[in-house]
Amino acid sequence: MSPQTFLEDFHHVANIGSTPHHGVDRQAATPDDQRARDWFTAFAKERGWTIRVDGIGNLFALITLRPGAPFIIVGSHLDSQPLGGRFDGAYGVIAALHAAERVERRARETGERPEFNLAVVDWFNEEGGRFAPSIMGSSVFAGIKDREEMLAVRDLAGTRVAEALDSIGYLGPDEGPEAAGYAEIHIEQGRILERESLTIGAVDSSWYTQKLDIEVNGEQSHTGATAMADRRDALLAAAKIISMVHDVTLGFPAEELVSSVGQLTVEPNSPIVVARHAHLVADLRSNSREIVHQARDTLRRQIAELAEAARLDISVRDFDIRENQYYPESGVELTLDIATELGIGARRMQTMAGHDSVAMNRIVPSVMIFIPSEGGVSHCEREFTSDADMLAGLEVLSEVVHRLVHGALAPSLLPGAQGRA
């Protein structure tokens, strides 16, 4: 299949749920997500591949290369953030479909006998913008999250995951394929490759991350009649906490800790009422577990002091803790070797962000590959990666998948065989 065909497919999918400024708004289990999935399904069926949809909406296309063997799975996600970019996730799925087609054709043409079968996947709800938590489908597949619990998660309109999936026809009856390995390609969402003029990142580990769920309970009162000294203002306290969450990063070397608050709800949220309640979610990330723990402890102490001083009831709960994950060294080297063979500039790197591969790496050897994203911009309409970088990534992924179905990483599953590939 030609590079031109890949680019046509990519731009076709980018038009599903497209937004005025070249982004996409294709949140999980919406009609636009359905249309993207229907396109995936049609792509697979045209090639005679078998479609399977599991009970959390993960969509698989199975390609038999060695009847009865387990599967190398390759893919990413077609859902997006609200007003998100057209590359995040979708690039990885479309590249996976095209890489799989190449690997299948090569196997047929050469008569080689691969070790494993091959499956392409569109994981359900990687983004978590509509239904929290993120990385939902792959986490259920990997056994890290409970399927029934995830099916009961509701969006802000009260719709459950199960209902939403059913309404788009993707709450499936199938088991997923038995996995032997996993590969994913994704935009970097950072500036390292761009800064070093490199095209491929071989991801060796993920950052330690955690969130804090913070509830502030004050007292509702009239802005036009309540003395300043008598107020117990939940929104003012939330504002101070948002500043604290930012300022805690200043206690560490630049960029070693990143933090943010992206979500805040206020009740009753009326212009002339002092707010009685605020709910916010803080996000802390570092390569160092120790730094995240220090920042968390500092914030908990500062928030307790604020609650005392402002006569508020503030609860802080740790959640969504993700330990550092290390991808198999053999897979990192495989990616770097292939890039070198193809004459493509590459380096090893980390990911600050979570990905489906972080979940999959818990159960099978997984390979994570990055390509550049201009300005490091992501989760917005301005996200951009050049056609040339996308095609270079497709070349590398195709070769990685070819070697994986031929058993490149399988020995690392056996004790004492680490790093042989």
Of the candidate residues 7, 69, 363, 377, the single one contacting a second copy (CB under 8 A): 377
Cβ distance to a second copy smaller for residue 172 or 190: 190
Structure tokens belonging to residue 29: 């289990």
Cβ distance to a second copy smaller for residue 229 or 414: 229
Cβ distance to a second copy smaller for residue 41 or 206: 206
Q: Tell me the closest approach of the beta carbon of residue 342 to a second copy, in angstroms.
A: 26
- How many CA atoms, within 13 angstroms, populate the side-chain half-sphere of residue 28? 34
Cβ distance to a second copy smaller for residue 107 or 360: 360
Q: Tell me the closest approach of the beta carbon of residue 160 to a second copy, in angstroms.
A: 19
Q: Which residues are registered as beta bridge partners of 210?
A: 284
Spatial separation of the C-alpha atoms in residues 184 and 193, rounded to whole Å: 17
Positions 36 through 75 that interact with a second copy (CB under 8 A): none
Cβ distance to a second copy smaller for residue 12 or 222: 222
Cβ distance to a second copy smaller for residue 97 or 245: 245
Confirm if 187 and 385 have CB atoms less than 8 A apart. yes
- From the list 106, 195, 200, the residue with the least C-alpha distance to 391 is 200
Our measurement of the distance from residue 159's CA atom to the centroid of its chain's CA atoms, rounded to an integer in Å, reads 22
Per rule CB under 8 A, is residue 353 in the interface with a second copy?
Answer: yes
Cβ distance to a second copy smaller for residue 254 or 414: 254
Structure tokens belonging to residue 160: 């459950």
Q: Which residues are registered as beta bridge partners of 187?
A: 371
Cβ distance to a second copy smaller for residue 238 or 338: 238
Q: Tell me the closest approach of the beta carbon of residue 350 to a second copy, in angstroms.
A: 11
Positions 152 through 211 that interact with a second copy (CB under 8 A): 188-191, 207, 209, 211
Q: Which residues are registered as beta bridge partners of 260?
A: 283
Name the H helices within 31-116: 31-46, 90-110
- From the list 390, 407, 417, 398, the residue with the least C-alpha distance to 6 is 390
Per rule CB under 8 A, is residue 80 in the interface with a second copy?
Answer: no
Confirm if 334 and 400 have CB atoms less than 8 A apart. yes
Q: Tell me the closest approach of the beta carbon of residue 1 to a second copy, in angstroms.
A: 30
Spatial separation of the C-alpha atoms in residues 6 and 108, rounded to whole Å: 21
- From the list 188, 195, 302, the residue with the least C-alpha distance to 248 is 302
Q: Tell me the closest approach of the beta carbon of residue 264 to a second copy, in angstroms.
A: 5
Per rule CB under 8 A, is residue 240 in the interface with a second copy?
Answer: yes
Per rule CB under 8 A, is residue 251 in the interface with a second copy?
Answer: no
The two counts, helices (H) then strands (E), for the chain are 12, 15
Taking CB under 8 A as the binding criterion, the range among 8-16, 176-184, 239-247, 292-300 that sits at the site for a second copy is: 239-247
Of the candidate residues 315, 382, 386, 387, the single one contacting a second copy (CB under 8 A): 382
Of the candidate residues 261, 291, 299, 394, the single one contacting a second copy (CB under 8 A): 261
Q: Is the peptide bond before 268 cis (omega within 30 degrees of 0)?
A: yes
Q: What is the DSSP track for 70-90?
A: -EEEEEE-----TTB-SSTTH
> Binding marks (x or -) toward a second copy, 111..130, rule CB under 8 A?
----------------xxx-
Q: Tell me the closest approach of the beta carbon of residue 39 to a second copy, in angstroms.
A: 25
